[in-house]
Amino acid sequence: MEKHILSKSTFIKGVQCTKALYFHKHHRELRDDLSAAQEAIFAQGTSVGELAQQLFPGGVDCTPESYYDFQAAVIRTHEEIAKGSKVIYEAAFQFNGVLAALDILVEHADGWCAYEVKSSTTVSGTNHLDATIQYYAITNSGIALKDISIVHINNQYVKNGPIDVNELFTVTSVKEEVLQLLPGIPNKVNALKSVLLQPEAPTVEIGTHCSSPYQCDFAGHCWKHVPAYSVFNIARLSVEKKFELYGNNILHLKDIPETFPMNANQWMQVRSEANNEAFIDKAAIRKFVSELNYPIYHLDFETFTSAVPIFDGSRPYQQLVFQYSLHVEDEDGRVEHKEYLAETNGEDPRIQFIERLIADCGNTGDVLVYNIGFERGKLFDLIEFSPGHKPPLLHIINRLKDLMIPFRERWYYTPEMQGSYSIKKVLPALVPELSYQDLTIQEGGTASNTFTTMLQGNFTGDAAQTRQDLLDYCALDTLAMVRILGELKEI
């Protein structure tokens, strides 16, 4: 059997961008490095797919021995069908140079049904297209499908004991949508196959398709002419306006014409960059600082999520707290640091987290956070989980204040912030001697993925050192808050 030309994934890639499809086939060396977050997403998708097989137990697995030997999987699939196998995992089909590997194929009493598993909680238009190319390859290989469905996560499921796969997953038929898309598939397949036969990559300008429906893994190459700080970094400017500027060959903020429609904060960002000018509202900052009550508890949470809930009383993708850092600042300037990091022994950390947090946060003084919506939301989640701790947790909630406000409201803005009020931008602007760049773990996504890997028993590094790296990262978040507030006081 000849090797396929398109697969389900490369078909979807080509629909998004023909240049990306060409690069994937002929210039993979141009691909961006895979981030830790993307690796975690792929690993999660694999584990969800394996768990979904329990919906239809007892199947045969046609996964090829070698990742690139899908033609053997196609042959094996047809052999299993001929033998009378009723449930097939990773069933593979090939037609007209298009390979489609299906997560689960089941022969029910009234015919064959195809099931594609997704780790998402909803069914998207891209999922419909994904299912259509599968339907195209399967039915043209001689299998009449009674139905084709997307198996996805039910985010209302609450774990209580062993995972109930029938409650965790929702099965949604997409045959109606597939049949509507199917007539356009042959022409699209032929067009994409022609792209791959061209001597050079097609000319495709950058656009919204670079990140929709998926972030393109060749964006680094295609966007290399765009400066690291450009019109695409203007805060809260619509993507349409950003590309309008780009279409007029405007990349640098200083080149934006005065007549271009933007709001006051966006013009502040532009003028700050053009004139290397800071904007400081001392009266507003003075009022903010004067209303803080000591001792001040500088608090930051870290959370993790999992498509398949790990602990009883949790839902898919629920953000669960596993770590906090707390710098307690007295009015005389003394600062004490407290912290908590959950163990990874399989025990639910939330009760211990709650009890330690209540003890560490005392009874008086403001609890200062950076982006109040996050910590407040997690505290209410903890109340829902442990109603018996509601009074002290509510007391913490009622003491919360938000250090992000002066920067979000543009009471303090400098060119170094580049339109952002994220603490990762504010800290180097106000306290350049403190830096996340000196840490092994430098942002929350890596912290979350690292802890999740350790919790699930998949971690292979130095566990003791990595726990220290997690503590160092979270501690810098709250030390940064202490130092940033100190700068505001000086102003």
Q: Mean pLDDT score of the chain, rounded to an integer? A: 95
**What is the DSSP-derived secondary structure letter of residue 85?**
-
In the prediction, which pLDDT does 37 show?
74
Q: Which residue has the tokens 């792209």?
A: 195
Task: Please give the structure tokens belonging to residue 258.
Answer: 């005065």
In the prediction, which pLDDT does 458 show?
83
Size of the chain, expressed as the number of residues it contains: 491
125 in Cβ contact with 118 (< 8 Å):
no
Q: What is the pTM of this model?
A: 0.91
Residue 316: Cβ within 10 Å count? 21
Report the share of the chain in percent with pLDDT over 90. 91
> In 319-421, where do the E strands start and end?
320-329, 335-341, 367-369, 400-402, 412-413
In the prediction, which pLDDT does 35 show?
77
478 in Cβ contact with 327 (< 8 Å):
yes
Partnered with residue 296 across adjacent β-strands are 329
In the prediction, which pLDDT does 427 show?
95
- If you write DSSP's letter for every residue of 216-237 in order, what string do you get? -TTHHHHTTTS-SSSGGGSTT-
What distance in Å separates the CA atoms of residue 422 and residue 428, rounded to the nearest whole number? 11
Where does residue 346 fall: left (phi above 0), alpha (psi -120 to 50 degrees), or beta otherwise? Answer: left
**Nearest to 53, CA basis, from 151, 161, 148, 146:** 151
pLDDT less than 70: residues of the chain: none
In the prediction, which pLDDT does 76 show?
95
In the prediction, which pLDDT does 456 show?
86
In the prediction, which pLDDT does 38 show?
80
Tens-digit pLDDT profile for residues 382-431: 999 999 999 999 999 999 999 999 999 999 999 999 999 999 999 999 99
Q: Kindly state the helix (H) or strand (E) to which residue 424 belongs, with its residue range.
A: helix 423-430
What distance in Å separates the CA atoms of residue 371 and residue 91, rounded to the nearest whole number? 47
